[in-house]
Chain A
């Protein structure tokens, strides 16, 4: 009798082929996501950059597809745009700072103090606001901030910062929580055992080890704040941010090329931020 050989059907042959050829396996897995990334993401970004160097016909409003530096010239020379850009960065920084101050103790309580049961509930509590509509939450703040509302502080830059801080808080809590979860509790015990009090333990052990997670969270709060225009429209009063300039140029002014040029500003700011952040190793935490 011969040794029984398992019948080699086509599916089995394909599986065997894939098993032997790791490269083919990898490209099969990546083809769909890479196509999506290339077309939908990089393609759109490229289109944005190309459009930024076009202009519009003053009379017809049609896009003129001829290369020009005019949009960027206007952008750099116009004081209004510089003010708006700086204001936007200021708002993004303020929102990130406020969220960090609120998120860190919250994340620490969730990861290191609460019982496992309370921990689950706190995670749910943090996530729940994400299920509600962005628009509804922004309007809720408008109601609270209106002169006859609960807070009654009125609209403006402060209102924008408060509302954005509220909206993006979970995006700061969750990465920090994940970072603290990974921090072994024994390290905190060890610092105390070696004589360090709470603040020193935080400064020399907890903060350096969770800093990448903090940066990861700040990328969310910073970039989301930088690009926001809806909250600004709802509670911002007269203070415009970059997003509104883009939006108004697409809508009211019907100047898509200039809108594209303005939109490159937050992209560049984020690229600078990410380059700075890459050095901290925080991108490994995303």
Chain B
């Protein structure tokens, strides 16, 4: 290890987990820095939750190591690790009051009654739930339960807080509120947050860095902007945002190069007819196959003459729905700045056999 390396809250090395013949995690290396808000993003079955459970200690890895704050905890039980978890179903103890739930971890650690009560009430205040101490979990709404779960974990001041799809069970409005609130709470307490989500928007809006999981492996780690603007693989390009790939013959015809390239839909300009591109632009002519009007913006699905299909997203700055709907079936040219196209690794034809 380098002597000047900053403290790592979590370090995973060669982590693997098999359930029978199924390989859920197929070799994961990851470093999460102290105080980071870190997202593990991926579709269901991509291994992200299994990685989280191995960090918490609920699953023993088949191979590899888990380090927390530089200490190897691979073989330690959950109660021996300095992490706390916010569970997807919140896992509040139904027979205890809100206060008893929050106090549970402190009671186990034999914190005396006075400071215990004080810290628990503090934690409830930090999640804006003062006055709810006496309620049972069944008497709370989903959003309130979520916050009790958060307080119950935070009150122990763990080195790392693990969150398993923390907002998955909430409705859209509440989810957006909680995204902002979670971020604020994390900034306040300064604890490393490591959370699992399948919602790319959630990962992009909340995190400092994101790891994109696919089939038990990490495809890319980076800031939200890096992940979105420069996806390393076709999978990342497709999973984070809309997949807009130009590949094969189309790449040769349109860009004059071989390979697979990604362009984000909002970077495309839709020009009616056969427009000519600007000096630093690439362009491709095609036919509008579908027009999807979505209030503030409109999505155009365009079949390229060169082959393949691109989706273009346009702000409805001046046009009305009447104008854009008329474009269905029309000839258009899509133009974009060269700096907005990125080569990505082609989709892996057989990722399981590829070995790690």
Is the CB–CB distance between A200 and B108 below 8 Å?
yes
Q: Which of the residues B77, B84, B89, B94 comes within 8 Å of A194, measured between beta carbons?
A: B84
Kindly report which residue of chain A lies nearest to residue B87, judged by CB atoms. A186
Report how far A192 CA is from B83 CA in the complex, Å.
Answer: 11
Is A184 in the interface zone, CB < 8 Å from B? yes
Is the CB–CB distance between B109 and A195 below 8 Å?
yes
Report how far A187 CA is from B108 CA in the complex, Å.
Answer: 15
- A184-B89, A189-B58, A189-B87 are contacts. A196–B79 as well, Cβ < 8 Å? yes
Q: Which of the residues B88, B89, B108, B153 comes within 8 Å of A196, measured between beta carbons?
A: B108
Is A102 in the interface zone, CB < 8 Å from B? no
Is A209 in the interface zone, CB < 8 Å from B? yes
Q: Residues 169-206 of chain A: 1 if any B CB is under 8 Å from the residue's CB, otherwise 0? A: 00000000000000010110111111111001000110
Q: Which of the residues A190, A195, A208 comes within 8 Å of B87, measured between beta carbons?
A: A190
Report how far A202 CA is from B56 CA in the complex, Å.
Answer: 20
Kindly report which residue of chain A lies nearest to residue B78, judged by CB atoms. A192
Instruction: List B81-109 residues whose CB lies under 8 Å from chain A.
Output: 83-85, 87-89, 91-95, 104-105, 108-109
A193-B83, A194-B156 given. 19 additional CB < 8 A pairs?
A184-B89, A186-B89, A187-B91, A187-B93, A189-B85, A190-B92, A191-B104, A193-B79, A193-B85, A193-B153, A194-B84, A194-B105, A195-B79, A195-B105, A195-B109, A196-B104, A196-B108, A205-B93, A209-B93
Is the CB–CB distance between B91 and A184 below 8 Å?
yes
- Number of chain B residues close to chain A: CB under 8 A: 24
Report how far A146 CA is from B109 CA in the complex, Å.
Answer: 54
Report how far A190 CA is from B153 CA in the complex, Å.
Answer: 9
- A186-B87, A186-B89 are contacts. A192–B79 as well, Cβ < 8 Å? yes
Some 23 contacts from A to B, beta carbons below 8 A apart, are A184-B89, A184-B91, A189-B56, A189-B58, A189-B85, A189-B87, A190-B87, A191-B93, A192-B58, A192-B78, A192-B79, A193-B153, A194-B84, A194-B104, A194-B108, A194-B152, A195-B79, A195-B108, A196-B79, A196-B108, A197-B77, A200-B108, A209-B93
- Number of chain A residues close to chain B: CB under 8 A: 17
Most chain B beta-carbon neighbours within 10 Å: one of A191, A194, A197, A205: A194
Is the CB–CB distance between B91 and A189 below 8 Å?
yes
Is the CB–CB distance between A208 and B156 below 8 Å?
no
Shortest Cβ gap from A201 to chain B (Å): 9
Please, which residues of chain A bring their CB within 8 A of the CB of B108? Answer: 194-196, 200
- Nearest first, the 5 closest Cβ-Cβ pairs linking A and B are A194-B105, A186-B91, A190-B91, A192-B78, A195-B108
Please, which residues of chain A bring their CB within 8 A of the CB of B91? Answer: 184, 186-187, 189-190
- A194-B84, A195-B105 are contacts. A209–B58 as well, Cβ < 8 Å? no
Shortest Cβ gap from A72 to chain B (Å): 43
Shortest Cβ gap from A282 to chain B (Å): 14
Shortest Cβ gap from A242 to chain B (Å): 37
Report how far A63 CA is from B153 CA in the complex, Å.
Answer: 72
